[in-house]
Amino acid sequence: MPDTLIIQAKVTIQDIQPEIWRRLLLPPELNLALLHEVLQAAFGWTDSHLHQFIIGGLVYGAPEFDQDGLSDNTTFEATSVRLLDFDFYHVPQPSFLYHYDFGDSWRHLVDVEARIPQDPSLKYPVCIAGARRAPPEDVGGTHGYMNFLEAWHDRAHEEHKANRRWAGRAFDPEKCDLAAINKAITSRLRKARGDYISRTH
């Protein structure tokens, strides 16, 4: 399959209903470190915690964060691996896992849906669809988020006002703002690429 084809992927946070998801168009030359930046922007995460990709049983991320050897698995350097390095073409319904914040444990399933021709009018990567906002950072995982939403929607709940103050007035659990997401993707990638150039010169 030509490397010029764009990867269309649906990314869904696991164990939350209704689903929180994004549909992304990704250039195949994107490395996993930059894909991490895209996913952080797409879901509104703040990159405040560790992360890893689990692809084909192997772990990719930042090996320097496991120097104490607490992990049972070898972590491969994410900057050295690109999407085109994986065989998503001969596997039926290929998918892999992006795990963010090992405490709250936000597990994102990345389903590779299709490989499509490039559209000259689009700047990749880009988010073309999605549903709902991601949970606030440090809300306590899926169980904590369910409790949070219960209080958020119930004005009579004793935690209603506190949760509204904590999450901020701009938080809307049902909103998925594609324009804001794509602006965030562009900004994060520009910064990440600038940081990389600074480190290598």
Mean model confidence pLDDT for the chain = 91
Closest CA to 44 of 167, 193, 198, 197: 167
For residue 109, pLDDT beyond 50: yes
pLDDT at site 25: 98
Confidence of residue 36 (pLDDT cuts 50, 70, 90): very high
Return the domain boundaries, the chain.
Answer: 6-133+175-199, 136-173
Report the 10 Å Cβ neighbour count for 121. 5
Tokens 């030509």: give the residue.
Answer: 2
pLDDT at site 1: 44
* Rounded average pLDDT over 190-201: 68
Confidence of residue 198 (pLDDT cuts 50, 70, 90): low
Cα 97 to Cα 59: distance, rounded to the nearest angstrom? 10
Looking at 3.40.50.2000, 1.10.3720.10, 3.40.50.2300, 3.10.290.30, the CATH number of the domain 6-133+175-199 comes to: 3.10.290.30
**Strand runs labelled E in 117-193:** 126-131
Cα 73 to Cα 50: distance, rounded to the nearest angstrom? 15
For residue 201, count CB atoms less than 10 angstroms from its CB and return exposed for 0-12, middle for 13-18, buried for 19 or more. exposed
The 3-state DSSP class for residue 77 equals strand
DSSP letters of 20-72? -EEEEEE-TT-BHHHHHHHHHHHHT----S-EEEEETTEEEE-GGGGTT--SS
Report the 10 Å Cβ neighbour count for 196. 14
pLDDT at site 66: 58
pLDDT tens readout for residues 168-190? 988 999 999 999 999 999 999 99
For residue 92, pLDDT beyond 90: no
For residue 201, pLDDT beyond 50: no
pLDDT tens readout for residues 127-149? 999 999 999 999 999 999 999 99
Cα 78 to Cα 59: distance, rounded to the nearest angstrom? 9
